[in-house]
Amino acid sequence: MYAFRKVRFTTAATALVFGTGLGLPASAGATALAASQDSSTCTVSSVTAAADQTQKPWEIADANPGHLTDANGTPLDGTGVKVAVIDTGIQSQTQLSVAGGVVLNGESTGYAADDDGHGTMVASIIAAQKVPGGNGMQGIAPGVQLLSIREAGCNAPSGNDEDTMATGIDDAVDEGAEVINISQDGYDDDSKLAAAVQYAYDNGVVIVTSAGNQGDRDTTDNNGTDYGVNPRTYPASYPNVLAVGAVDQYGTVPTFSETGSAKNTYYVGVVAPGVAVGGLVPKGTIAIDDGTSFAAPYVAAEAALIMEEHGWNQSGDRTAARAYDVIKIIEATADGDGAYSASQGWGEADIQNALATKLGSGDSLVSPGNTISGLTRMLGAGPNADGQATTSQTDVNRTVIKPYVAASVNQEAQKQQRWAYIALGAGILVAIVALAGAAVARDAARRRGQPQS
């Protein structure tokens, strides 16, 4: 039993949710779904509007779209690549154009609509167009074609379950998607969903999915099933997908970002911006939110740029080798330098590094399981590892939180502060000696019968 959940960060959990935390019961049937409909659970009702609509969200500034280039300095924007967003829909607007899609959640307003807002935020991180004189939002790969697979939503009369998710993956592949973003997860293995993931991989489609947001809280679904803290999530933990955790502006992994474990398998591939990130809501303004939901599209855009760079968007490239190569490039060029961490995966995704890395195979695809020359070797317990870590290498037990390094201290100020502490200590010592002397004098006076001051 499964209930997909949006993977935004929230304090409550159920079982199929977005990277936001909305959960609707999947196996209880349409009646239960209808009973769970509540506009107050829509993403647009819970996000915060950006205070400065003209400012570029930090995760977009970090990616630096418009200045991303290949190893030869050629600009890249994802042109020629199709990216499917399996979510609550994508609201067509000035900055977001939807090339096609399907509706699987029973809504009557079409695939280019979104009354929830979650799918629109996700899609905007991938492909929002920059508007001169407009707001600060710009997608990381604005040249891609967006496909909207509308299979969930706060007011959806159907969908929101693993069967619909599986159908959405199959439809996206059949519609020609090269990259699929899934910012949802659940907690039960499902054969139909697993088969759909394998179908996508066999056709060279890269599935990028959110890792989940229950890393620091107990997880119980609507039927009372308790999955514990930091449970294994699906489709994130299936082989041949790229699961993405979250980091903030300082590279710190928030406690809500799920990690996997030795018991549940380590499945996080990389981490990406997922705290206080900005994206467009259906009305066209920038909203701020947290969650691994919004880390996934950062990496989905990276996958599209890699495909554009190497020309891997042709019909002949629809083999497992393409999915394997793109995922390996993203993981091996992250900032973990080939060492695996349960919370950070292979490190924080580095888009420009991935694009600037020259492969020994050039633009030729390398079959799954083989070494891609030019990439850092990945050693550890994580997915797609090239081998196990040795005792001299960082492994799964490394510190889960990256330290925040403060700015350099002014040395003269530090010296003055040190002498101030020494002087203060000397003063305290003198005071203690004086007080001790006074106490001895009072005690002697008491013994001699003299008056005490």
What is d(CA 219, CA 196) in angstroms, rounded to the nearest whole number? 26
276 close to 35: Cβ distance less than 8 angstroms: no
* Helix orientation angle between 191-202 and 320-332, rounded to the nearest 10 degrees: 90
- Note the pLDDT of residue 289: 97
What is d(CA 273, CA 290) in angstroms, rounded to the nearest whole number? 9
What is d(CA 352, CA 50) in angstroms, rounded to the nearest whole number? 27
- Note the pLDDT of residue 413: 44
Each residue's pLDDT tens digit, 314-328: 999 999 999 999 999
Three-state SS sequence of the chain = CCCCEEECCCCCCCCCEEECCCECCCCCCHHHHHHHCCHHHCHHHCCEECCCCCCCCHHHHHHCCCCCECCCCCECCCCCCEEEEEECCCCCECCECEEEEEECCCCCCCCCCCCCCHHHHHHHHHHCCCCCCCCCCCCCCCCCEEEEEECCCCCCCCCCCHHHHHHHHHHHHHCCCCEEEECEEECCCCHHHHHHHHHHHHCCCEEEEECCCCCCCEEECCCCCEEEECCCCECCCCCCCEEEEEECCCCCCCCCCCCCECCCECCEEEEEECCCEEEECCCCCEEEECCHHHCHHHHHHHHHHHHHHHCCCCHHHCCHHHHHHHHHHHHHCCCCCCECECCCECCECCHHHHHHCCCCCCCCCCCCCCCCCCCCCCECCCCCCCECCCCCCCCCCCCCCCCCCCCCCCHHHHHHHHHHHHHHHHHHHHHHHHHHHHHHHHHHHHHHCCCCC
Is the pTM higher than 0.75? yes
382 close to 340: Cβ distance less than 8 angstroms: yes
Active site residues: 87, 118, 293
- Note the pLDDT of residue 423: 54
- Note the pLDDT of residue 261: 84
What is d(CA 284, CA 153) in angstroms, rounded to the nearest whole number? 19
pLDDT by residue for the chain (453 residues), tens only, comes to: 344 555 544 433 333 455 443 333 222 232 222 222 345 579 999 999 999 999 999 999 999 999 999 999 999 999 999 999 999 999 999 999 999 999 999 999 999 999 999 999 999 999 999 999 999 999 999 999 999 999 999 999 999 899 999 999 999 999 999 999 999 998 999 999 999 999 999 999 999 999 999 999 999 877 889 999 999 999 999 999 999 999 999 999 999 999 888 887 899 999 999 999 999 999 999 999 999 999 999 999 999 999 999 999 999 999 999 999 999 999 999 999 999 999 999 999 999 999 999 999 999 999 999 999 999 999 999 999 999 987 545 444 333 333 222 333 344 444 454 445 455 555 555 454 455 454 433 333 333 333 333
- Closest of 386, 402, 401 to residue 339, by C-alpha: 386
Each residue's pLDDT tens digit, 337-392: 999 999 999 999 999 999 999 999 999 999 999 999 999 999 999 999 999 987 54
What is d(CA 341, CA 348) in angstroms, rounded to the nearest whole number? 11
Count of alpha carbons within 13 Å of 35, Cβ hemisphere only? 8
What is the spatial order of strands in the sheet that 206-210 belongs to? 98-103, 145-150, 82-87, 179-182, 206-210, 242-247, 268-273
* Helix orientation angle between 296-310 and 320-332, rounded to the nearest 10 degrees: 120
Tell me the β-bridge partners of 242.
208
83 close to 144: Cβ distance less than 8 angstroms: yes
- Note the pLDDT of residue 427: 58
Plot region of 195 (φ>0 → left; ψ -120 to 50 → alpha; else → beta): alpha
